[in-house]
Chains A and B, each alone.
Chain A
Amino acid sequence: MLDRYGVVALFAFMAVLFPAIPLVFSWIIRPKKPNKSKTTTYECGLEFEDFPEEAQQVWVQFRVQYFLYAIIFVVFDIEAVFLYPWAVAYNALGLYALVEMVLFLGILILALAYAWRKGLLEWA
């Protein structure tokens, strides 16, 4: 009975060990040159200390392009959600699924073409 807990203990030990090894190893071999930018919280690549004082508050205004990008991202996300199962079961589904997917992709590509033509993919 007790030896079964041994398996759990071994599993827990390995689970702690595996992430610890690369952390410790990289701490030993890496160069240590900290600066202000590296010590701040990571925020999607924006360097906060470059901002004026008032903009370093939490209430940062994001550009509206982020919102548009998020919507266009959804187009591709949905596309991927359907493409993977279709690709996996391609042989079983046959011609009918192929026609369905072409229609589906056509509709999504129209959405992308619309965004492109309306200039949503340009950052300026």
Chain B
Amino acid sequence: MPDATTLYLILPEITLAVFGMVILAVDLIWRERSRAALAWLTVLGFVIALATALLGWGWNMALFAQMYVVDTFAIFFKLLAAIAGILVTLVSLDYLRDRTPYRGEFLALFTFAVLAMMMMASSASLLMIYLSIEFLSYMSYLLTGFLREDKKSNEAAIKYFLYGAITSALMLYGLSLLYGISGSLNFADITATFAARNDVPTRIVALVSTALVIAGLGFKISLVPFHQWAPDTYEGAPTPVTAFLSVGPKAVGFAVLLRVLLTALPAFKNEWIALLTVISVLTMTLGNLVALRQKNVKRLLAYSSIAQAGYILIGLVSVNLNGASPFSGLNGVLIYLFAYLFTNLGAFTCVIAIENATGAVEIDDYKGLVKRAPFIAALFVIFFLSLAGIPPTAGFIGKFFVFGAALREGFLVLAAIGVINSVISVFYYFSVVRAAFFEAGKDTAPIRLAPPITFSLVVSAALVLVMAVYPEPFFNLAAWSMGMFGVAK
């Protein structure tokens, strides 16, 4: 029987599970009358989950036969998940009202998706990792195909599902090899096995399984060559879901990747660094070059988010947890993910605000935006500056720590490729800004903003700017979150 401490530590998960079912039940009982209340109930659930996640701060405990851990690293990602949940729920209100009658189901599924993200962040055994990734995947497929009448939404869901099914089979095979060689699902036992046995057959099996695990998680993070689903899925999915997919599963995908590579496979660090370096270069370059040719803003942001995953990967490649340098690579990844969360959600919120008012998602439709919605146009500039990594924005701080770690480790070429890619990205980000500011549009009707969307935009933009001007608290947050890897504080 779980004791009180266990229940206390998994309070955020319990909260979200209860709220998900309550939302479903309330929707069943009151139907139409509860529609407006449901969204606020969902937000309340995420706020409570956020608060209860903070209660576990400073704990470092393995629960349920070492399958589930609650440590500062997991809590960092639970905070990310809850914040993403709040912001996406707020921006989805108006979008869903016009498009689907099944809003109760949407909010319930979305709550479960955030619950799955929290479970991924805490997973510490091969079995738990697989189950939580599948849980998140199923919720993502359903949310992607949620607009049943919309053919693009259906296509997006089918493509996402087929890619997901194949990569998850690959990853499961990799996990089964790890289990076969170590006889345990537990990370500590796997590390011990590889420390004790270093013969050639063991190494070969370990390398194959490492590659397969990276393939499975690379799908969630949308790394090249597992990225093909991303543009079509991002374009076809309901835009709030696209915003969620571009930050949520990506962030926790990195969490699992970090945990597996650093705690279960540190014996093969040189090998996975080599593999991930190649993937990182490919991901950045392909994402940025293809983004140059995009006409649809959702597709442009899809390729941009592929490229961003490449930058973040530089931090993982440059991980060095020895010494007191402020550039440990790991903190770069965490700071980058935190900055990216607000930046990308903010950029997508602008897209949603415009789509709600005009239904348009092409760059050409953004012409003359500064006259119609000066507020949105100005925020677009902030978010795109941040995505491109130009100060004074959060994106710059993220890139600073990630590229700094690469330089510290002596990966000069990798850092140079990253910087060149950032310069390329400025071109396509600012093609949208140019259309919005310097070209005259046909339509001149002003665009009205709903209060929840305004709130979410202001919060995102404020955090993007605050992180750049006063990064110290965020730097400390990342340092605390790394505590479980035996580093500082």
Question: Which A residues are closer than 8 A to B by beta carbons?
Answer: 96, 107, 110, 113-114, 117
Contact = CB atoms under 8 A, between A and B. Distances in A.
B1 A110 contact: no
Nearest to A113: B28
A117 B1 contact: no
A50 to B, nearest CB: 34
Interface string B11-28: 000000000010011001
Contacts of B24: 110, 114
B28 A114 contact: yes
A105 to B, nearest CB: 13
3 nearest A-B pairs in the assembled complex, by CB-CB distance: A96-B1, A117-B28, A110-B21
Contacts of A110: 21, 24-25
Contacts of B21: 107, 110
A114 B109 CA distance: 14
A117 B25 CA distance: 10
Contacts of A107: 21
Interface string B83-125: 0000000000000000000000000000000000000000000
Interface residues of B, number: 5
Interface in B248-292: none
Nearest to A100: B1
Interface in B443-465: none
A14 B1 CA distance: 50
| Consensus secondary structure, chain B interface | helix
A113 B22 CA distance: 13
A118 to B, nearest CB: 8
10 contacts: A96-B1, A107-B21, A110-B21, A110-B24, A110-B25, A113-B25, A113-B28, A114-B24, A114-B28, A117-B28
A113 B1 CA distance: 30
Contacts of B1: 96
Contacts of A117: 28
A110 B1 CA distance: 25
Contacts of B25: 110, 113
Given A110-B21, A110-B24, A110-B25, 7 more contacts: A96-B1, A107-B21, A113-B25, A113-B28, A114-B24, A114-B28, A117-B28
A110 B27 CA distance: 12
Nearest to A107: B21
A107 B108 CA distance: 14
A113 B24 CA distance: 10
A107 B22 CA distance: 10
A113 B21 CA distance: 12
A34 to B, nearest CB: 49
Interface in B23-39: 24-25, 28
Nearest to A94: B1
A96 B161 CA distance: 38
A36 B21 CA distance: 52
B84 to A, nearest CB: 25
Contacts of A114: 24, 28
A42 B83 CA distance: 57
A114 B1 CA distance: 31
B25 to A, nearest CB: 6
B148 to A, nearest CB: 14
A110 B17 CA distance: 13
A117 B28 CA distance: 7
Nearest to A106: B21
Nearest to A95: B1
Interface in B330-380: none
A92 to B, nearest CB: 13
Contacts of A113: 25, 28
A100 to B, nearest CB: 9
A114 B22 CA distance: 12
Nearest to B102: A118
A110 B21 CA distance: 8
